[in-house]
Structures are given as C-alpha cells and as structure tokens.
C-alpha cells in the first residue's frame, strides 16, 4: 500500500521503482492513494490510467478526489478508482471494490474518510462494517485505506475492524507514523503510511509558501515542491486462507536509490 502520491515527483518515483518493487518483493497486489497525484491536488483520468499501467491494482483517494472536475465522468466507469465510501450515495463512483490479484485470488479494497477535522461525510464506522460484511462473502482478503486527519479516529478504525480485515492503513497527513503492528486478532495496522512525493517540503508543498501563510494568514495558491522525492509504503504479508496479516513493514525508497 503506497502512501499519498504527490504531483510529478511522486508519479516519477513510482514509475521508476514500482516494477522493481513488484519483482523484488513478489507483490501480488498494489494499492496506491492518488488524491494528490495531479499537480498536488486531485487526480485526472490521465494520471489514474498512468498509475494503473505502472502496476497499481486499485487507486484510493480522499477529500481531494473532486479537485479536478474531469474525474467525475471517469470515476463512474473505472471501478478501480475509489472515492470515500462514506460520501453521499448520490456521489459519483464507489468506495469499495473486489478484484483479482496476480495469483487470481479475490481482494477487496475499502476507502473511507474520517470526520474529525475533515469535510462533512457520513459515519465511516457503520459504513465500513456494512461493506466489510458484504465483501467477506466473496473474500477474506480486505485492505482498508482510512483517510483521516485525527490519529485517534484512525486508531479506532483499526481496533474496530481488527480480525475482520487484512489491514487498516491510514492516509492523508503525509507524515509517516512508526506504529505499524499486527493487532491481536490479526489485522495489520499503521496510523499513516506517509507520502510519496517531494520530501524537502511541507506535506508536499513548497516550504516557503506554507511558512509565509503561517506568518501572514493571506490565502495563496500552493505549488507542489520538487526536491528530494521519497516513496513511502507498507508491505503486508497475508495468510491467503484466513485473510489475516502475518507481517507488516515499512518500505521506503528515495529518489537517489
């Protein structure tokens, strides 16, 4: 599971290293968060297709999914691009999908968004419970992208789904956490995977712009940074029969690697 891919530096790093990561670690399935992939804000049909060609199997997102309006038509026809499942049902697209991995096994992916310090959305817990129960009728292999600001809310989702899904991995803050673990009932968990993009930045944006905004509070257009790209991801080993995780470890690749 690849953390939020930010702008061209993130895309290029995935393009350079994902094929070799798939070969090196014998990856059967790749999930990537792409809500910031198009110049730092949103996703376009072209950037989504690019990631799918690179080897990603399912693309998740979050609160920036609608930043590029051309994605609205695309997401209605491409079920491998998810928006948070707890958005209104009338919203285009869907928040979960079951597809086959490279070994032919069915894998479910669920994308939900937190409500603390985030935009309005429906209850992610009740919707996650409903959709996980639905997907478990097809497969025990289920990966959850919990897109949220508050660590407590993401931790709560991990404990809530422990033993019911393969993994709950947090996204959104772009800052990796050091709490990856296997929860007692067998679900892999991390509060935030981190970011795939320019590391010499403030959560992917040019440092000077963010610092100036803190100083003068004047609205400005943020531009993605470019320096020192880094790929941050989680590698999860799974028991194919039970769907429970065996190991979870952080995989980090720098641009110069």
Instruction: Report the alpha-carbon distance of residue 235 to residue 25 in Å, rounded.
Output: 9
- Following DSSP, what letter does each residue of 216-250 receive, concatenated? H-------B--SSEEEEEEEEEE-TTT--EEEEEE
Neighbouring C-beta atoms of residue 129, cutoff 10 Å: 14
- Following DSSP, what letter does each residue of 119-155 receive, concatenated? -----HHHHHHHHHHHHTTT-S-EEEEEE-S-HHHHH
The residues annotated as belonging to the active site are: 64
pLDDT at 20: 96
Q: Residue 46: which pLDDT band, with cuts at 50, 70 and 90?
A: very high
Instruction: Give the three-class secondary structure for 173.
Output: coil
**Does 210 score more than 90 pLDDT?**
yes
pLDDT at 12: 96
pLDDT at 29: 98
Dihedral over Cα of 122, 245, 170, 28: its sign: negative
Domains identified in the chain, total number: 1
pLDDT at 70: 97
Instruction: Report the alpha-carbon distance of residue 83 to residue 4 in Å, rounded.
Output: 14
Q: Residue 52: which pLDDT band, with cuts at 50, 70 and 90?
A: very high
Q: Which residue range(s) make up the domain with 223?
A: 4-254
Mean pLDDT of the chain: 97
Nearest residue to 15 (alpha-carbon basis) of 44, 40, 49, 60: 49
pLDDT at 51: 97
pLDDT tens track for 161-206: 999 999 999 999 999 999 999 999 999 999 999 999 999 999 999 9
Q: What is the CATH number of the domain that holds 122?
A: 3.60.21.10
pLDDT at 257: 62
Instruction: Report the alpha-carbon distance of residue 71 to residue 199 in Å, rounded.
Output: 27
pLDDT tens track for 102-142: 999 999 999 999 999 999 999 999 999 999 999 999 999 99
pLDDT at 256: 67
Q: What percent of the chain has pLDDT over 90?
A: 97
pLDDT tens track for 214-253: 999 999 889 999 999 999 999 999 999 999 999 999 999 9
pTM: 0.96
**Does 85 score more than 90 pLDDT?**
yes
| Residue where the block lists tokens 């800052």 | 175
């Amino acid at each position: 599971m690849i953390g939020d891919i930010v702008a061209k530096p993130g895309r290029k790093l995935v393009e350079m290293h994902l094929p070799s990561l798939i070969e090196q670690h014998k990856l059967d399935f790749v999930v990537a968060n792409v809500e910031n992939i198009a110049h730092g804000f949103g996703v376009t049909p072209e950037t989504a297709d690019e990631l799918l060609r690179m080897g990603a199997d399912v693309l998740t997102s979050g609160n920036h999914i609608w930043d590029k309006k051309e994605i609205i038509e695309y997401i209605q026809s491409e079920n491998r691009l998810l928006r948070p499942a707890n958005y209104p049902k009338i919203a285009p697209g869907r928040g979960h999908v079951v597809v086959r991995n490279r070994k032919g096994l069915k894998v479910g992916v669920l994308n939900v968004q937190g409500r603390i310090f985030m935009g309005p959305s429906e209850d992610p817990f009740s919707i996650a419970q409903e959709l996980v129960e639905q997907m478990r009728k097809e497969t025990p292999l289920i990966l959850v992208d919990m897109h949220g600001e508050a660590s407590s809310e993401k931790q709560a989702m991990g404990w809530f789904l422990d033993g019911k899904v393969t993994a709950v991995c947090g996204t959104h803050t772009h800052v990796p956490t050091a709490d990856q673990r296997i929860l007692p009932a067998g679900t892999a968990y991390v509060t935030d995977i981190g970011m795939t993009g320019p590391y010499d930045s403030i959560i992917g944006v040019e440092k000077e712009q963010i610092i100036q905004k803190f100083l003068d509070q004047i609205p400005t257009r943020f531009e993605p940074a470019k320096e020192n790209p880094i790929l941050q991801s989680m590698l999860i080993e799974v028991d194919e029969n039970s769907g429970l995780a065996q190991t979870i470890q952080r995989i980090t690749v720098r641009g110069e690697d």
